[in-house]
Structures are given as C-alpha cells and as structure tokens.
Amino acid sequence: VQQDVPIYSEWVGTTVGYVTAQIRARISGYLMSQHYTEGAFVKAGDLLFRIDPRPYQAAVDQNEANLALAQAQLDQSRAQLAQAQAQVEQAKAQIAQAVAAVTQAEANQRRTELDVNKYAPLVKDGSVSQQEYDTAVQNNFANKAAVVSARANVEAARANLLRMQANAKQAQADITRAQANVAAAKATLDNAQLNLGWTQVTAPIAGLAGLRAIDLGEVVTQDQTVLTTVSTLDPIYVAFQLSE
C-alpha cells in the first residue's frame, strides 16, 4: 500500500529555559546567607543571597553625617547672607542720614555766613558790637567744620555700604558653594544607599533557581562572581546535536 508515513528520529538533548539569567553580585563582600531552595521555583524579586552589609551600612551612616554637615553649612551661609543684606540696608539708611546731616550743616553754615557778611559793615560804625561779630565769625567757622565733618561721614557711610555689599556677595558665593557641597553629599549618599541595597541579591526573573555556585563565607567579586542561575520554564527549549 502506498501512503504517507511520518519519519521519526531520536536524539539525546538537554532542556534549556527560554531565558537563563546568571545571578552575579553587584558589589564585593562576604557571602553571608542563602535564602532559596536549590531547584525550586522563585518569583521575580525573591531574596536569593545576602552579602555582608556592615561596611556598606557604615558608608551610608558616614555619608548621612556628611550630608547633615553640608546642610548645616548651607543654613549658616543663608543666615550670613540675610545678616549681610540687613547690614546693606542699614548702611543705606546711614547714608541717607549722613546726606541729610550735610544738608542741615550746609544750611547752618550759609546762615552764619550771612550773619558775618551782615555784621562786617555794621561793626565799623558801632551798630553791632565786636563781640557779636566775633561770635558770628566763630559760629561760621564751626559750621564750616561741621559741613566738612558731615561730608566725611557721608563718604565713610558709602565706604561702609561698599563693604557690606562685598560681604553680601561673599555670602551669596558661600551659599552657591554650600549648595554644591549638599548636592555632592546627596549623590554620594545615594550611591552608598544603592550599594547597601545590593547586599541583598534578588531574582531578576521568575523561574527555576539552580545550584549555588559558591560556598557561604567566601568572598564574591563585583560583577564577576556567578552565584547561581534562574531559568524560565515556559516556554522551554531542547538543545540537541543533529547527525550529518
């Protein structure tokens, strides 16, 4: 009888998961414990191994302290800036007062100068006593000195304002530097916390967990030591060699 018949062949093969993930340590350290059963099914995120976390916890604690110190320095710089800005405003007020004092002193000096000019011809004909004239002259000299002193006070107040403005700029620069230090400390702390989290080795996928490839207590090397494998079972493949 002529008919179609299937052709069968037999091979020896090995079952292979659709994905086989090699579990490697992201940090270096001593392997402390195993938290799965070899050959059992694990879910994604299940804890497989734990690496000694103590040095990484110490790094986190130290970087938290550094961040707190940097934040305190930033707060201090902000307080210094507020104080410097207040001093700038106070210096501006002092300038305004000094300018007003100059105006008043100049007005007084002009009045006494008018008195001197008025008494000068009168003292000759005896309408004004010599004492009154001398008093007017002395008052005019005193008011001239007051004008010079008031103007000097204005210049001193302006110089003081420049110093206060320089202090404010320095305080602003200190804030910028302190903010950079805070950002750097936060980044370092984030990295330390990330390393601490990697002391717990978890399954990246769901599947069948293989044999432990390293004994407990041994040192694992970052990104090099293979701890175990996790293979998915659905779908699953079979690898075999075809004959010629």
| Predicted confidence band of residue 127 (pLDDT cuts 50, 70, 90) | confident
Cβ pair 112, 145 in contact under 8 A:
no
pLDDT tens-digit map of 39-64: 899 999 999 999 999 999 999 999 99
pLDDT tens-digit map of 74-89: 999 989 999 998 988 9
| Average pLDDT, integer, range 131-155 | 85
Q: Is the model's pLDDT at 128 over the cut of 80? A: no
Three-class DSSP labels, 142-207: HHHHHHHHHHHHHHHHHHHHHHHHHHHHHHHHHHHHHHHHHHHHHHHHHHHHHHHHCCEEECCCCE
**Closest by Cα among 120, 115, 121 to 136:** 115
Q: Is the model's pLDDT at 126 over the cut of 80? A: no
**Tokens 């002259």 found at:** 137
Predicted local distance difference test score (pLDDT) of residue 191: 95
pLDDT tens-digit map of 163-185: 888 989 999 999 999 999 999 99
